[in-house]
Structure 1
Amino acid sequence: MNYGRKNIMAEAVLVKNEFKTKYILRGLACTSCAAKIEKAVQELPYVVEAELNFAVSTIIIKGSERTKNMDKELQFIANKIENGVKVEKEGKRTLRQENNTSKKERAKDNTDITKKSNYQYRFWSGVGIFVLALIFLQVPILTNGLSRFTFYLKYLLFGSSYLLIGSPVLIAAFKNIKRGQVFDENFLMSIATLGAFAIQEFPEGVAVMLFYMVGEMFQEKAVDRSRRSIKDLMDIRPDYANLKWGEETIKVAPEDVQTGDIIVIKPGERVPLDGKVLKGSSLVDTSALTGESVPRRVKSGEEILSGMINKVGLLTVKVNKEYNQSTVAQILDLVENATAKKAAIEKFITKFSRYYTPVVVYSALAIAILPPLFLTGASFSDWVYRSLIFLVVSCPCALVVSIPLGFFGGIGRASRQGILVKGGNYLEALNDVKQIVFDKTGTLTKGEFVVSKIKPYNGHSKDELLTKAAYAESHSTHPIAKSIIEACEYKIDNNKIEDYQEFSGRGIKAVIDGQEVLVGNNKLMDQEQIDYQEVTEEATEATIVYIAIDNVYAGYITIADHLKDDSLKAIKALKQAGIREITMFTGDRENVARKIAKRLGLDNYYAELLPAQKVEKVEELLKKQDKKDKLIFVGDGINDAPVLARSDIGVAMGGLGSDAAIEAADVVLMTDEPSKLVTAINTAHKTRQIIWQNIIFALGIKGIVLIMGALGIATMWEAVFADAGVALLAVLNAMRISRNP
């Protein structure tokens, strides 16, 4: 990560004194102001990184050392850039504090509503006066005998309507100039409209301000709607938990519940914390987490995750994770921070707008001054009028607002489909994917292993072979180990197990009842120099587990796994989506991998890989591809963290409730369906398509009107459309992404 000039200093201190703090920016309504606040905070000497999330009005600050004055410095920056923004540090709150905060927010909302209603009254009064002035002063019969006073009437009527309509813009421009924030849309609109009054173009001056304010109102509604779409995703946040306290049940904040506590979940309530069902059965709605509309049944002994909604039965649950480690907290953190990680095109537009507006302002100044000085017969008022058109058109709102909205919508759309994208940068990168590497077990196959055959040798029985293997595998969490343990009819006595040793990618060595037992693949047998009979004829689609007892080959067990119903459909759809090469990695034997790769129609596969070898293979594939192309690795997010991190885009399959999945991956598919990856890529394509439509449309219209204005062809009315009209159309186009798929 590049921290600019503070990189060396920060990295030296970060390990010891690193801090990370989140602040809420209440009242933040301006996207360009948000970018300025983020930039100003990043320039503070103790700040390593600042990520401002306009969608949820938060800023996360990572720093090298804490300072008591940080809150005040942030508030000072906010006041300087957008007055009225209240900076508040996020922290743990009790249920009472949450209720008090809600009351304060409702009171503030009521105040804001009053202010808005007052301005709306002034706005519509100004519109009425403007319409009256147009009718009264443009109809000759109504102004007969008033020629001496017509000029003053124009000033009075148009001036009063202008002030009533444009007062927020004028006040904001004046305050921003005092703060040193000159080149923004308020300044441009103020100069352009006051200039129109100066050359006595009264109707056009008022009309520019009127349509600008109408455009701003529509943009504000669009931004609010986009924010609501993000916040709707965050409605999975539980409000309370019913904590069982002796014979009573008390309502507490989820943050106050500890691991091991017992909670009660009533029908219709949201599950507040992850846990295990002790009593009761019910149907739970998982749509907020997975995007799946079909309810899932849970019963005693099963796991239940926070964010689900209990539909019918009363559930008693033992909590196994505190709130900040729960599924819902991790997902909320991911969704909240997703829009803060900007795509390259977002960063470019932000930087472009900083240079674009001043260039156009100085160009407008040159247009107003130079032609009258050097061109014979050039009218000063005519060229000032052209320069005013330049100023009106120059506002970059269409891009600054619509592009972030596009990425908000794309991330929100993916979330509703059960796909969590960690940032706009990853959503953008999905457009350039040409290679996809799938891990086999749990990704393309179900990962539900079943013992299909037991073949003993050298006088051992099937029962003995399975029991020894189950004891050896009892400490392993691998799916194959679990299938062997489940097949064993005897309860495992851990006291019989000694000298347990696990060899990554090979198997296990353990001493059981005084006998040394080896359980693993052919690599383990070769490593321990066991004279074994290698199995080939039965390994078509089964995993072979060899067993040796006291260095003597005892037999083998076959473990069957099956393809997911969704896998074949997903591979076909990915090829249709333009993916050039699809590869499979597996630790299984060559013939098992070959059979599955053939059935799925994969382009390539690599078998008998250790975890470290998967990383090496990914690095080889990355070296072969073009620089602009991206490689996805899709794994289960638990055992594949290194290779997930090494690939261009790491995708965790079936990451629901998996800490490792959410931590290591860039994209998390919340269900076990490989076809969700196709959905993610299609959403990325749609997002990019709409964003580029906005860029081409906005810059194209603005460029044409700028040229027309400089040549004296365009009027202020075309300029208004090129600014407010184009911005509104771009915002409406961006909102198409967030519509229900």
Structure 2
Amino acid sequence: MGKELKKLSKNNLKLSTKNIDKKNINIRSKKFDSKNIQKEFILQGLDCAHCASKIEEQVGNIKGINSANVNFLTKTLTLELEEVNSVQDLIAATSVRIEKIEPHVKIEEKLSKKAFKKELLLEGLCCGNCAAKIEREANKIDGVKSAMVDFISTKLTLEIDNLSKQDAIMEKTKKIVKRIEPHVKVIELENKSKTSQNKTHDHGHEYDESNKKEIIKLAVGAAIFGIATIWNFSNTIELMLYLISYMLVGGGVVLRALKNISRGQVFDENFLMGIATIGAFSIGQYPEGVAVMLFYQLGEMFQGIAVNRSRKSITALMDIRPDFANLKIGNDIKKVSPEEVSVGNIIIVKPGEKVPLDGNVIEGNSMIDTSALTGESVPREVGLGDNILSGSINKNGLLTIEVEKEFEDSTIAKILDLVQNASSKKAPTENFITKFARYYTPAVVFSALALAILPTLFIQGASFSQWLYRALAFLVVSCPCALVISIPLGFFGGIGGASKNGILVKGGNYLEALNNVEVVVFDKTGTLTKGVFKVTEVKAQNNVSKDELLAYAAYAESYSNHPIANSILNAYGKEIAKDSIQNYKEISGHGVKVLANGKEILAGNYKLMLEEEIAYEQVETIGTVVHVAVDKKYAGYIVISDEVKEDSSKAIKALKAIGIKKTVMLTGDNNTVGTKVAKQLGLDEVYTELLPDQKVEKVELLNKTKSPKGKLVFVGDGINDAPVLARADIGIAMGGVGSDAAIEAADVVIMTDEPSKIASAIKIARKTRTIVMQNIIFALGIKLILLVLVALGVGTMWEAVFGDVGVTLLAVLNSMRAMKTENI
């Protein structure tokens, strides 16, 4: 039926996310009971949708197997077994049945990767530099494949290659954290959702308590400092007052520095401030020693508040997790956690409540707000039979919903997991700053040492106390916290801001890559067009009626899930007697051949007619033409048309306005349709009548036209064009709401059907990069200026303190601008 049909075949799998009924993809015989044993298998070599249906039916009839589910898209067989003792026998029986139906298909048990990941909450982690140290040390532990510290969510994720080593790895990890940050609590995350809720509450409470104690100590220390400074006392009493003030204000800093030195952690901010202020006391600068420590501590406190508020602000952007579900049990309603609800259960959603799980409306009508998922402020109406997604807000009516997915598989859970873990995929700038900080601080410390000693050796009349003071101030400036904290905050703020606009970016690396986009390649169907196919013309010939022609085409297309096939079945509108269909054969890039009611039916594009040597009528029209032949005689053709999205033209104009060099469309549709759509939208290039492997080849060629640093983006529909999405520098999936495959396949997911959001994503990426670069230039620039001034004797420790905590505070506040995307 034209290359646009993109048939399911051994070499390619082409489906449209917007038009696929999930019940057709996951062919279900029975609902699963969570109490039974579930096993998952990969069916290697499964390439026939009809055979998948047979396997499901045959395996489901085996005694001891409660139900079987074949997902043809992922080639996954899920079995629900009744008895623990007969698991191996049932698996063997399953293999025998599959071998009879499809001898070349190999069955392999699917291993869960989740079991090898361990997540730890680092409660109280406020130092970005220390987070980098913990990550570095944890990666060295034997048995750890990778360790990643997410400073934003204060979470350490460990990937373990052997579960038997888990306890030893946990023990070593806790020791590392205790050595680097003794005050940080390590909490193992078992129930992620409940722990995250408890964490937010408990952490805030502990932070408030410790904050109050710190404020009291600082206030008393400041008061004693003020008394010593204002009133005249003898030298001894004055020194005692300054010492008491210093111990109250900076005792904790010095103690932490000593503990860290004993653990081998020398070059940190505690060490730098301790050396600087103790050095000030040693040369008689008592007021300055206390004042620097006082203002350092005040700055650190404000910095901690700013960072915590920043975290809360970003988290609030995705505060869409439902807290409860109203589970209907008989005539009663019970309020339960969403995790306790199973597939098939009935839930009630009252006006003003969040929809807790994905499901189907079985009673009621209402307007729902999907802005948290899609960024769209206009509510939409739902009623009987409509699908509804978790995270939506019910505006006015009472809805009764049958649950279709458990919470961990729901749309909201996947989106939350994606956004919350986005900062684990670090941008190149973040990685550079982490490495830079590792070498920067020791370099500055040794420079300060040289500044204290060398001038006294080579400059005549140089005072050691004078140069020591300069070296101490030099140390105060050197802390790299401003960069280590503000850079990841900036990227995560950008990711949070994008999610608020219905754009899910899977990591800082993809957000940064969007800055260098030069070529944007679009799929046509479901991306630039609506993907809603309708039969617009039925032209029967050779004594065949229109109804008969539709019937022949419908029988030929009965096993396909493609939107064009669905449009023919919808136009036919009658039940298909599938028992009468035999020898179903899909011919890649051509069409299908079946035997139905004793007649051979061919349905496809003109190439199928040429291959079968059937004279056909050549048609020039805007739409996909399906030619039909019965028993080698031409029966006529059917025209199916698609419609261009209203937003597509705006999207192309927006991309060109922001400097994208080339926009291209790849389609399997015929040249007439493809060229007309491309001209209508103002695309630079169009390639038509392409098979999936040819699309990959075109992307390879287009890749060579961009600059070495330039990026190529491919925009598709998620499941569709998976090979091309993988080959592109950045894969963007359109219309990702409710599509698990879209979220899995792409690097960026546009949660609506608006291609113009691609330009918005690039603008957000550019704004984020601007903010990150501002922080880098500002922090390094101020520090460099102050280092020079201090070395020349112009700057004092007062300016040095601003160069540390003041710059950090300003950089953190600047990072939060990345979340504001209203004018994008």
Query: Is the pair's TM-score, using the shorter chain for normalization, greater than 0.5?
Result: yes
Residue 115 of structure 1 corresponds to 210
Please give the per-residue CA displacement for 1:42-99, whole angstroms capped at 9, x wherever unaligned: 11121112222222222222222112323222222221121233333323489xxx49
The answer to whether the 8 Å contact 1:56/1:230 transfers is no
1:620-659 → structure 2 map (5 Å cutoff): 620-659=701-740
Q: What is the CA-CA distance between 1:103 and the residue it aligns to?
A: 6.8
Q: Secondary structure at the match of 1:441?
A: coil
Q: What is the CA-CA distance between 1:482 and the residue it aligns to?
A: 1.8
Q: Secondary structure at the match of 2:708?
A: coil
Q: Secondary structure at the match of 2:355?
A: coil
Matched residues in 1 for 2:528 and 2:295: separation?
A: 55
1:106-145 → structure 2 map (5 Å cutoff): 106=201, 109-136=204-231, 143=232
Q: What amino acid does structure 2 have at the position aligned with 1:88? A: I
1:708 is aligned, of 789, 796, 803, to: 789
Q: Secondary structure at the match of 1:673?
A: coil
1:378-527 → structure 2 map (5 Å cutoff): 378-527=462-611
Mark the CA change 1:370 to 1:648 in structure 2 (over 3 Å): closer, same or farther. same
Please give the per-residue CA displacement for 1:457-476, whole angstroms capped at 9, x wherever unaligned: 22211111122222322322
1:584-603 → structure 2 map (5 Å cutoff): 584-603=665-684
Residue 71 of structure 2 corresponds to none
Q: What is the CA-CA distance between 1:671 and the residue it aligns to?
A: 0.4
Q: What is the CA-CA distance between 1:15 and the residue it aligns to?
A: 8.1
The answer to whether residue 420 in structure 2 is matched with residue 336 in structure 1 is: yes
Residue 140 of structure 2 corresponds to 43
1:79-478 → structure 2 map (5 Å cutoff): 79-92=178-191, 98=194, 106=201, 109-136=204-231, 143=232, 149=234, 151-478=235-562
Matched residues in 2 for 1:683 and 1:56: separation?
A: 22
Output the TM-score relative to the length of structure 1: 0.92
The answer to whether the 8 Å contact 1:438/1:634 transfers is yes
2:633 is aligned, of 526, 547, 552, to: 552
The answer to whether the 8 Å contact 2:127/2:481 transfers is no
Matched residues in 2 for 1:201 and 1:608: separation?
A: 81
Residue 777 of structure 2 corresponds to 696
Q: What amino acid does structure 2 have at the position aligned with 1:622? A: N
Residue 80 of structure 2 corresponds to none
The answer to whether the 8 Å contact 2:603/2:626 transfers is yes
The answer to whether the 8 Å contact 1:255/1:322 transfers is yes
Q: What is the CA-CA distance between 1:185 and the residue it aligns to?
A: 1.0
Tell me which moved more, 554-563 or 165-174. Answer: 165-174
Tell me which moved more, 233-242 or 272-281. Answer: 233-242
The answer to whether residue 653 in structure 2 is matched with residue 572 in structure 1 is: yes
Q: What amino acid does structure 2 have at the position aligned with 1:331? A: I
Q: What is the CA-CA distance between 1:105 and the residue it aligns to?
A: 6.9
The answer to whether the 8 Å contact 1:173/1:186 transfers is yes
Tell me which moved more, 583-592 or 474-483. Answer: 474-483
1:52-63 → structure 2 map (5 Å cutoff): 52-63=149-160
The answer to whether the 8 Å contact 1:644/1:665 transfers is yes
Matched residues in 2 for 1:112 and 1:437: separation?
A: 49
Mark the CA change 1:534 to 1:103 in structure 2 (over 3 Å): closer, same or farther. closer
The answer to whether residue 742 in structure 2 is matched with residue 661 in structure 1 is: yes
Matched residues in 2 for 1:222 and 1:449: separation?
A: 52
Please give the per-residue CA displacement for 1:540-577, whole angstroms capped at 9, x wherever unaligned: x3121221222222111111111111111110110011
Q: What amino acid does structure 1 have at the position aligned with 2:139? A: Q
Residue 3 of structure 1 corresponds to none
Matched residues in 2 for 1:632 and 1:366: separation?
A: 51
The answer to whether the 8 Å contact 1:53/1:336 transfers is no
Residue 172 of structure 2 corresponds to 73
Query: Which consecutive residues of structure 2, in runs of 5 or more, have no partner in the other structure?
Result: 1-109
Mark the CA change 1:487 to 1:160 in structure 2 (over 3 Å): closer, same or farther. same
Q: What amino acid does structure 2 have at the position aligned with 1:276? A: N
The answer to whether residue 120 in structure 2 is matched with residue 23 in structure 1 is: yes
The answer to whether the 8 Å contact 1:242/1:250 transfers is yes
Q: Secondary structure at the match of 1:444?
A: coil
The answer to whether the 8 Å contact 2:129/2:437 transfers is no
The answer to whether the 8 Å contact 1:654/1:669 transfers is yes
Q: Secondary structure at the match of 2:351?
A: coil
Please give the per-residue CA displacement for 1:132-159, whole angstroms capped at 9, x wherever unaligned: 33332xxxxxx3xx5xx1x223322332
Please give the per-residue CA displacement for 1:181-202, whole angstroms capped at 9, x wherever unaligned: 1111111111111111111112
Please give the per-residue CA displacement for 1:645-695, whole angstroms capped at 9, x wherever unaligned: 110000001111111110010000000001111110000000111111111
Count of residue correspondences: 710
Output the TM-score relative to the length of structure 2: 0.83
Residue 32 of structure 1 corresponds to 129
Q: What is the CA-CA distance between 1:642 and the residue it aligns to?
A: 1.4
The answer to whether the 8 Å contact 1:520/1:545 transfers is yes
Mark the CA change 1:211 to 1:115 in structure 2 (over 3 Å): closer, same or farther. same
Matched residues in 2 for 1:93 and 1:36: separation?
A: 25
Q: What is the CA-CA distance between 1:115 and the residue it aligns to?
A: 2.3
More helix by share: 1
Residue 663 of structure 2 corresponds to 582
Matched residues in 2 for 1:117 and 1:93: separation?
A: 30
Matched residues in 1 for 2:718 and 2:569: separation?
A: 23
Q: What amino acid does structure 1 have at the position aligned with 2:497? A: R
Matched residues in 1 for 2:203 and 2:507: separation?
A: 31
Matched residues in 2 for 1:629 and 1:732: separation?
A: 31
Q: Secondary structure at the match of 1:249?
A: strand
Q: Secondary structure at the match of 1:430?
A: helix
Q: Secondary structure at the match of 2:267?
A: coil
Q: Secondary structure at the match of 2:354?
A: coil
Q: Tell me the percent identity.
A: 57
Q: What amino acid does structure 1 have at the position aligned with 2:162? A: E
Tell me which moved more, 516-525 or 14-23. Answer: 14-23
Q: What amino acid does structure 2 have at the position aligned with 1:278? A: I
